[in-house]
Structure formats: structure tokens, C-alpha cells
Amino acid sequence: MARGKKHKLSESYVGGNVVNEHGSKNAKTQQPAKLEAKDIYYEEDGLQRVYPYYHRFATHAKGRWVGRTIFDVFSKEFRDRTKEYYEASIEKGIIELNAQKVTKDTVVRNGDMVTHFIHRHEPPVTTEPLRVVRETEDGLLVVDKPGSIPVHPTGRYNYNTVTNILQIKHGYAALYPINRLDRLTSGLLLVGLNPTVAHKVERQLVEHKVQKEYVCKVKGEFPDGKIKCSQPIRVIAHKLALNCVDPKEGKPSETEFEKLFSEDGYSVVYCRPKTGRTHQIRVHLQFLGFPIANDPLYNNVEVWGDDMGKSGALPQTTSDPKEEEEKPEPEPEQAIERPRKMVGKCDSSQKNDAWRVLVKRMENWKDRQDMMEHINDCVGEKGPGKCDKCSTPMLPDPKPSELSIWLHAWRYSGSDWTYETPLPEWAAKAADHIDRVKYCPEKA
């Protein structure tokens, strides 16, 4: 767990304005110089980190805020921080109305611009560099993305993202990401350097004119031969990034798999998705009974139960004994045994029950992870580990095994182009087998 360091990014840069240690600003007379990579990133304990910094969040007052004090709005509408934090932030001037310092009792009025300069702590990512595979004359950038780095700013990630790293460390200007890769997935990423080439390749993807080839590592002996999974997929909970097979309401999805080799209880598998649903390869492998071996979401018994989602099996209990004890006994007409297979969840009430249990198990698991992080942080050798500026708990560093999963986007091919990346270390032996299964236009 790395500590926040005193640095120009964390000490003076606030949303494009210079801010002193007391939080006062003078945007008209003090403009910061353009920040360089050394001002933003540093490496420590084998991870790429970002110096903590202030980030400007601004929004016009919502209707329900009008007539309330600024302190009441923040303490009741934004409960991720304590009342003491908001009280101190108003006093320091990092919460303001219409670019003016306020007091706790200042009343929010219709049309007010509410601004919060929040002190952000980004999660660290791998130190493995982004590798540029190719840059074409018409403006297509092909990148080999390491696991752990999101493609674009999202959630707690801003500077530690592909787009910002390419701009800050590699000097690229406008970027237009074309294909999606999950944060934990490594491999080939297509980025447009102009909207024309980005739109062109995006259309090829939409029209299924681009062949996508991945490799993954699953637990167990994957069957021989070509295996096709055509189970529809739907998003169950957007905020939890939870997806599942749903034959009734899922979107059409298709992936072909073929084992490359097996060793020490694992199989390295070639994957060729024909559609592009979120988490498609991960969900289809789980349905087949071979989830990616180190997938924290789809190979998680605490979330999916003993059947681990194989053939669409869903857990029937929330995995929390207290919650099960508190449930009222069902009425006689409701006490009907529900099938465990998702294919049996065709009527809406049963389907909702199934999703509700699954989502609750996911929430319970995430709560337990957060609690363990808090406990480990508080009992660690470095003490309680809170930021001296915003009292944000300093979360423990991710373990190397938590930075990526064994899923790699290996090769993409269009009508007149093909780009590929080196195979990752865990799939290095696949080089001896992949020629027999890889996509060949003349054989298509």
C-alpha cells in the first residue's frame, strides 16, 4: 500500500486552476503549466501509480436541491463521505457555488452551479507498458494493452487508462477507441487517430467483417474438437458488471472454441467470438462448465454457488444465513419448487427471483471484499492508512494475480489487413498449436 506523496499534482493542481494548501484559487492569474508524465505517474512496489490530485466535478443544481443548504445537499445526497468531510471541505473552499466560496448555511438556488474539487486516489495498474504494434498512414493505431488498464476514463480510473497514457506518455492527440477490452483482459486494441478511420473500422465490426481471435486458460480438460456456444446473453446488473445467459431475453451471441493444449489440470483454449456482447467469452465458457481459471467474477463460488453457472444453473439462496433466516415462510400457493436451470426461468416472476438472488450474492461478495480490505488496512503495519487531505482510506495494493485474467485478444483481421500481438506468457506453448486453428480467409 503506497502512501500519497507531496507533489505538484496533488498539492497545487485543481481542475485546471492552481490551488494552495488552504484551498484558495485564482484562476484568472495563475494557470498551471502543462503536466508531463513525470508530474502524473510514478512507479513503486512494482505498480504504476498516479499522484493523488484534485478533480473538478460540476453540475447545475437539481430541482430537489433548491432551497436547501449546501451542507444539507452534500451530507444527504452524497453519502460516500462523512459529514465532517463536507463541513471541512466547505470551510476550505473546495465545495463552492457559482465559483464562489460559501458557508454551511448558504442556500442553493435554481440555476446555481455546484462544484466540488474532490481529492482523487486512482488505483494502481501494472508497470507493463502499452506497446504500439502498428500505426497506419490513414490513422489506425494498433496497441497491445496489458491487463489491469481500462481503455478510457471510468469510475476511479482517469490517468491510469489507455487513452490518457497514450496521450501523456506517447504524445498522441485525439483518440477514438474502436473495439472494447475489459480492464482485466489483455491484448489487441484498435484506436482511431481520426474519426474517419474509426468510423470505417467500427462499421466493419458492426457488419461482422472483422474476425476476432482470443486465447484463454481454463481449469480442467476442455473437450477436443470445435465447440460452439450460441446461448443468448443479457446484462443482469449494470453497476455490478454482471452478465448471464438468458435464453428468453438475452441478445443473440455466438462463440467458437477449440482446445490448443492441456497441461497440469488446465487447458489453453482458442476463442473466436462471432458477436460482441459484454463479457461474451467469459459468460459462454462459464455456461460450458469451463470458466476462465482466474476470473474473479465468473469463476466465483461465492457468487454462483457450487454449480458455478454451468448450463445456466443459478444459486437458490443468497449465501447469507441471516438473510435466509429472516425470510418469511412462503404462502402455500407460493411454495412451489423452482427449477434451477435458467432455461426454466421463462415467466417473469421466476426469472426476477433468480436474478435477485444472484445479484444479492454478488453484492454480498463485494461487501465482504470491501470489509476485508478495510480490516487489512486498519491492522497493517502502516497503521490506519488515511489520506491527510481527504481522509480517504488507502486501500491495499492489488496482488499480481488480481491485475489481469487469463484472456488475451490475440489477433484481429479485416478484409485486407491482419494485426496480432505476441502470446502472453501463460499461453506461450500455444504457439506450437495455434496455426492449425487460426482464421484463414481462404478457408472461411
C-alpha cell, 95:
465545495
C-alpha cell, 162:
489507455
Question: Among this protein's residues, is 388 annotated catalytic?
Answer: no
Task: State the Cα–Cα distance between residues 6 and 20, nearest whole angstrom.
Answer: 13
Please report the DSSP string for 257-290 in residue order: EEEEEEETTEEEEEEEESS--TTHHHHHHHHHT-
Residue 3 near residue 383, CB atoms below 8 Å: no
φ, ψ for residue 366 (rounded to 5)? -60, -40
Eight-class DSSP state of 313:
B
Residue 255 near residue 202, CB atoms below 8 Å: no
| Whole-number Cα distances in Å, 333 to 164, 324, 329, 336, 352 | 57, 20, 11, 7, 18
Residue 377 near residue 182, CB atoms below 8 Å: no
Catalytic residue among 144, 182, 246, 377: 182
H/E run at residue 86: helix 83-92
Task: State the Cα–Cα distance between residues 19 and 362, nearest whole angstrom.
Answer: 41
C-alpha cell, 158:
482517469
Residue 139 near residue 199, CB atoms below 8 Å: no
**CB burial class (10 A; 0-12, 13-18, 19+) of residue 51?**
buried
C-alpha cell, 31:
494557470
Task: State the Cα–Cα distance between residues 294 and 240, nearest whole angstrom.
Answer: 18
| Whole-number Cα distances in Å, 124 to 99, 153, 307 | 32, 14, 34
| Residues annotated as part of the active site | 182
